[in-house]
């Protein structure tokens, strides 16, 4: 056993469990690929200021949860705590918005890092798949992204999730609500950190999960009562588009999400089988983020779905994914000459698209067959000196035990026929 262990709050993905994570990533990405979203990959660390400006200096992410470091050259960097700011920065740096085909539609997958108190479903290192549509203000785009996430979850077999929906207004109507909320919050019995947050971004107080705070928020002004006519109309169009596509949602006037850059549409996917960490993903519109990080005005919308929590949601519903076997065929050579011949057969099977493994290490027949059974393979290709003299190999069904000689030059065809 190694002297070292994975850092607290992190985890290793190893087979066979890692196969479920890969399947979840693929399932979330599949509808995005069919909808014009191209893949983008950004560095695992960025300038601290990118997140301070975009995510928000008053957020827990920036004030308490970012992993920061100073380079030898004196640069202040942070391990990325979320994906949107990085993807938008990359799109601006590459001038994708100047190509004349807006919105720029991008999807990504990767690891993110936050210094949080570790618990089930809440890690310091976690995996997400995200999507961003940059440069267009259209309720159909908001609805599209919600539907794509909904369809991805449905394709995995998930049923017990809910979509919470709200509008946060815009620069025209939010200031009046902000002032009314600040007046309400200032009269409450809150700690100093929360009082400072009231002056920076009072909406963040609504997102406080502490029971003592939530009890005092009863009767707080509701943002929906302060929306301008344009924001009301925009939000109603999003709702109508979702309803027309049969996507159920719940209006949640208290939903604000944990990032400062959201405007208008905001949404969250929650699963009631996960306890306190019920959010499996979410997102919203962020029309002002580009300007916050020094870019032009680019109204945008996006989401991120947690791979870790989606896997937990599958477990909560008792769903076992139909995963392809890691190995379909296992080759067992009996003797040095058979080893050389079957090594070539293994290569041919792999090139034909058949997942094939080999009895490495000079195992005897008994140990090799045990390895074949442990691999989960359905078939074994076995060859000894006599088989080679006759120009055949033995094709054994590891489930039934039935064994059939097959011409050496017909192994690929025979295997594919057996596997269907």
Q: Which residues are annotated as a binding site for L-histidine?
A: 82-84, 114, 128, 132, 257, 261-262
The residue whose two tokens read 């928020």 is 217
Pairing of strands 250-251, 263-271: unpaired
CA atoms 166, 169, 173, 179: torsion sign: positive
Q: At what angle do helices 139-155 and 17-33 cross, to 10 degrees?
A: 150
Q: Which residues are annotated as a binding site?
A: 82-84, 114, 128, 132, 257, 261-262
Is residue 188 within 8 Å of residue 197, measured between CB atoms? no
> How many Å apart are CA 275 and CA 65, to the nearest integer?
22
Secondary structure tally for the chain: helices H, strands E: 16, 16
The tokens describing 208, both together, are 């406080």
> How many Å apart are CA 365 and CA 20, to the nearest integer?
32
Q: For residue 346, what are the CA distances in angstroms to 335, 388, 416?
A: 16, 15, 13
- Rg from Cα positions in the chain: 27
Collapse the DSSP code of 116 into the 3-class scheme (helix H, G, I; strand E, B; otherwise coil) and give the result.
coil
Phi-psi region of 3 (alpha: psi -120 to 50; beta: other; left: phi over 0): alpha
The residue whose two tokens read 């979702």 is 242
The tokens describing 26, both together, are 């693929």
Which string of DSSP letters, residue by residue, matches 122-145? B-SEEEEEEEEEES---HHHHHHH
Of 300, 259, 261, 258, nearest in space to 171 by CA: 261
Report the 10 Å Cβ neighbour count for 274.
19
Is residue 316 within 8 Å of residue 160, measured between CB atoms? yes
Beta-ladder partners of 250:
164
Angle at 270 between CA 20 and CA 108, to 5 degrees: 55
């Amino acid at each position: 056993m190694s002297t070292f262990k994975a850092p607290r709050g992190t985890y290793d993905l190893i087979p066979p469990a890692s196969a479920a994570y890969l399947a979840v990533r693929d399932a979330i990405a599949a509808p995005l690929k069919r909808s014009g979203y191209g893949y983008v990959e950004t560095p695992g660390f960025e300038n601290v200021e990118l997140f301070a400006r975009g995510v928000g200096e008053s957020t827990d992410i920036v004030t308490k949860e970012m992993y920061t470091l100073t380079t030898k050259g004196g640069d202040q960097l942070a391990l990325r705590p979320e994906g949107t700011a990085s993807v938008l920065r990359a799109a601006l740096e590459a001038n994708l918005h100047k190509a004349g085909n807006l919105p720029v539609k991008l999807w990504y997958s990767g690891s993110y890092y936050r210094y949080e108190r570790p618990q089930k479903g809440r890690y310091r290192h976690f995996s997400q798949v995200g999507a961003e549509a940059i440069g267009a203000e259209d309720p159909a785009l908001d609805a599209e992204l919600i539907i794509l996430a909904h369809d991805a979850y449905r394709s995995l077999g998930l049923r017990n999730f809910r979509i919470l929906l709200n509008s946060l207004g815009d620069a025209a109507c939010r200031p009046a609500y902000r002032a009314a909320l600040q007046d309400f919050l200032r009269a409450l019995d809150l700690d100093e950190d929360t009082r400072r947050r009231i002056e920076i971004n009072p909406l963040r107080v609504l997102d406080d999960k502490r029971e003592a705070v939530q009890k005092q928020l009863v009767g707080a002004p509701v943002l929906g009562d302060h929306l301008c006519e344009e924001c009301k109309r925009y939000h109603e169009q999003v709702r109508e588009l979702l309803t027309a596509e049969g996507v159920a949602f719940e209006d949640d006037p208290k939903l604000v999400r944990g990032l400062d850059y959201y405007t208008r549409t905001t949404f969250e996917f929650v699963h009631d089988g996960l306890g306190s960490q019920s959010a499996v993903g979410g997102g919203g519109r962020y029309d002002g983020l580009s300007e916050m990080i020094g870019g032009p005005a680019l109204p945008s919308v996006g989401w991120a779905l947690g791979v870790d929590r989606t896997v937990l949601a599958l477990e909560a519903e008792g769903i076992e994914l139909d995963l392809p076997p890691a190995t379909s065929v296992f080759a067992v050579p009996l003797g040095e000459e058979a080893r050389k011949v079957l090594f070539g057969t293994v290569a041919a099977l792999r090139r034909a698209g058949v997942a094939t493994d080999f009895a490495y290490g000079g195992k005897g027949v008994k140990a090799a067959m045990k390895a074949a059974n442990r691999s989960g393979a359905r078939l074994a290709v076995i060859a000894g000196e006599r088989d080679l003299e006759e120009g055949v190999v033995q094709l054994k069904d590891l489930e039934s035990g039935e064994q059939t000689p097959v011409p050496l030059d017909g192994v690929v065809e025979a295997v594919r026929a057996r596997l269907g």
